[in-house]
Amino acid sequence: MTRLRIALALPAALALTAVLAPAAPAATSKLYAFMDGKFETRGGDTDGHARIGLTFDRAKGRVCYDLRKFKLDTPQQMHIHRGRKGKDGPIVVTLINKPTGAGRGKVTGCVSGVSRTTIDKILASPAAYYANIHTADFPSGSARGQLTTHKLV
């Protein structure tokens, strides 16, 4: 009788384990942000705003960005920071660290060497992170926006 119970219980336990096991993270994931000067805590460019799409690739340790800026000067720097809405926080990913030379509205690129741990933390709680742009006129931050899973139109 004991063998019969074990024989019946084993497949059930394996099936339950498969259902409860955490799913493997997606190879790539996307996040977005609407950045505006009014969201900068130290006063940003009140005329400027931007949209950014971010693609995170865990396996390659890479983050790519597609920035559409409006009424903002050339980005000197652009980062992802840890910090809730209205709070400043430390840089966790540097996206741009020198002037891009892109005076028009679109700036794209990728950065490598981002740890899987950092990517996992950002993807697990996007609202706890924000992206911001620094320009020559606003070195502390020109525009800022919290990360979200919602694609911006």
* Count of all residues that appear for the chain in the document: 153
Q: Quick one: which of 94, 89, 74, 73 has its CA closest to 130?
A: 89
- Cα(60)–Cα(56) distance, integer angstroms: 9
CA-to-CA dists, residue 86 to 21, 48, 58, 117, 137, angstroms: 36, 18, 28, 25, 21
Give the CATH number of domain 27-146; options: 3.30.1370, 2.120.10, 1.10.1060, 2.60.40.
Answer: 2.60.40
- pLDDT band of residue 31 (cuts 50, 70, 90) is very high
User: Torsions phi, psi of 11, nearest 5?
Assistant: -60, -35
- pLDDT band of residue 96 (cuts 50, 70, 90) is very high
Residue with tokens 């694609």: 151
- pLDDT band of residue 84 (cuts 50, 70, 90) is very high
What is the per-residue pLDDT across 63-82, written as a single tens digit (0 to 9) for each? Answer: 999 999 888 888 999 999 99
pLDDT of residue 74: 87
- Cα(91)–Cα(12) distance, integer angstroms: 47
Average pLDDT over residues 88-113: 87
Residue with tokens 């942000």: 33
